[in-house]
Amino acid sequence: MSGVRTGYVRPVDFKHGCVDLTHGGGGRAMAQLIEELFQRAFDNEWLRRRNDQAAFDLPAGRLVMSTDSHVVSPLFFPGGDIGCLSVHGTINDVAMAGARPLYLAAGFILEEGYPLAELKRIVESMAAASKQAGVPIVTGDTKVVEKGKGDGVFITTTGVGVVPAGVEISGDRARPGDRILVSGTMGDHGVAIMSLRENLSFETTIRSDTAALHGLVAAMVEAVPGIRCLRDPTRGGLATTLNELASQSGVGMVISEAGIPVRPEVDAACEFLGLDPLYVANEGKLVAICAPADAERLLTAMRAHPLGRDAALIGEAIADPHRFVQMDTRFGGRRVVDWLTGEQLPRIC
C-alpha cells in the first residue's frame, strides 16, 4: 500500500504563497489557480463550462463594447482597490452610451512574487463588485511577467451591453442652449489616491467614489430618453471631459464655479497640493448634457438615485466656433477651463 493518495492536489497556499511563473505557464499550476481563485470567486454558468470563450444570446438593441486597462498605484486605497475599480470602470464606459451592461471579460497581468493573499483580496473585491452590479465576468485570461517587469497586478476589463431602441447618446450631440449637469462631488477619487502616495502622504477621511453607474444611468434614461451626452469624468477630471464634449460637439460651454459640487476636504487638499479639483479624477460620477426643457426632470431623477444625491446643474453649452469651456468664477471674473496639460498625477486608475 502506497501512502500517496491518488488524485490529491495540494491546495494553493493563499496565506503565504506568491505568484510564480508557473501560474502563467499554461500547466497544472495555472489551471489550479484559475479553478481555486478566479472560478470560485466569479462563479457563473459560463465559467463553469471551462471554455476559452463565453457564448451568450443578446437581447434586442444596439450592441455596445468598451475596454479599460487598470494600473492604479497603490492597488488598495480608501474606498476601493484595483479589483472593484476595474469592474466599475468598464461598466461605466458601457453605461455612458445609455446601455445596459451585460457581460464582462477580465485579463490579468501578474508580477512574479506578488503575494497570493493580496491577489485573492483583489479578485474577491472584483467578484463582489460584479455581483452587486449584476454584471458577470464570463471569460478571462491570466499572464505572469518576471519580477521587476510589472507592478503587482494590472487588470484589463472589457464589457458588452445593449442600448434600448430610441436612445441615442453620444459625445457629439450637445447643441447651444443645452444644459450641463454633474451627478455629484468632483475630485474624490484622485484625492483619495494622492493621500496615499509615498511622497504626499497626508491624513484624510476622503474615500474614492468608485461605483458602478449603470443603475443611475437607467433611471436617467427612463426619465429623459433624449439625453444628448453622458460621460464619466475620470482621468483629467471634469475640465477634460467638458473640453472633450465641447470639441466633439463643436460648441462652447459656460459653467459656474459656484454651482460645481466639491467636498470641502477635497477643496482643501487641492489647495494645499496646488491642484485644481476640476482636473482631479472621479470614478463614480458622470456628466450629462440635455435639452433645456429636460433639465429639471433629469436633475430630479438623478437626485432621487443614491449615486446622484448631490447632482447639480453647472452650466450650458453655447455657440462658439473656438469651442472654449469658460467658467464664471466665484470671484466675479470669467476664465478659460482648459485641457489638462501634461499629467497631473500618473496611474490614478
> If binding is defined by CB under 8 A, does position 250 make contact with another protein?
yes
Contact 230, 98 (CB under 8 A): yes
> Residue 249 CB: number of other CB atoms within 10 A?
22
> If binding is defined by CB under 8 A, does position 196 make contact with another protein?
no
Taking the complex as a whole, how short is the minimal distance between the CB of residue 328 and another protein, in angstroms?
10
Question: Rounded distance, CA 236 to CA 277, Å?
Answer: 10
Q: Which three cell numbers stand for residue 247?
A: 470639441
Task: Compare residues 36 and 320 and give the one whose CB is closer to another protein.
Answer: 320
> If binding is defined by CB under 8 A, does position 293 make contact with another protein?
no
| Site stretch for another protein (CB under 8 A), options 41-49, 128-136, 225-233, 331-339 | 331-339
> If binding is defined by CB under 8 A, does position 53 make contact with another protein?
no
Nearest-CA neighbor of 208 among 278, 262, 281?
Answer: 281
Exposure class string for 4-22: b at 16+ Cβ within 10 A, else e: eeeeeeeebebeebbbbee
| Site stretch for another protein (CB under 8 A), options 32-40, 102-110, 116-124, 250-258 | 250-258
Contact pattern from residue 29 through residue 48 relative to another protein, giving x for each residue in contact according to CB under 8 A and a dash for the rest: --------------------
Contact pattern from residue 156 through residue 195 relative to another protein, giving x for each residue in contact according to CB under 8 A and a dash for the rest: --------------------x-------------------
Q: Which three cell numbers stand for residue 147?
A: 519580477
- One residue of 34, 67, 326, 347 binding another protein per CB under 8 A: 326
- One residue of 151, 267, 291, 347 binding another protein per CB under 8 A: 267
Task: Look up residue 71 and give its amino acid.
Answer: V
Contact 287, 233 (CB under 8 A): yes
> If binding is defined by CB under 8 A, does position 204 make contact with another protein?
no
Order of all β-strands in the sheet with 312-318:
229-231, 287-290, 179-182, 312-318, 252-256, 325-328, 334-336
Exposure class string for 292-311: b at 16+ Cβ within 10 A, else e: eebbeebbebbeebebbeeb
Total residues in contact with another protein, by rule CB under 8 A: 28
| Site stretch for another protein (CB under 8 A), options 23-31, 61-69, 245-253, 296-304 | 245-253
Binding region for another protein (CB under 8 A): 176, 199-200, 250-252, 264, 267-268, 271, 273, 319-322, 324, 326, 329-336, 338, 341-342
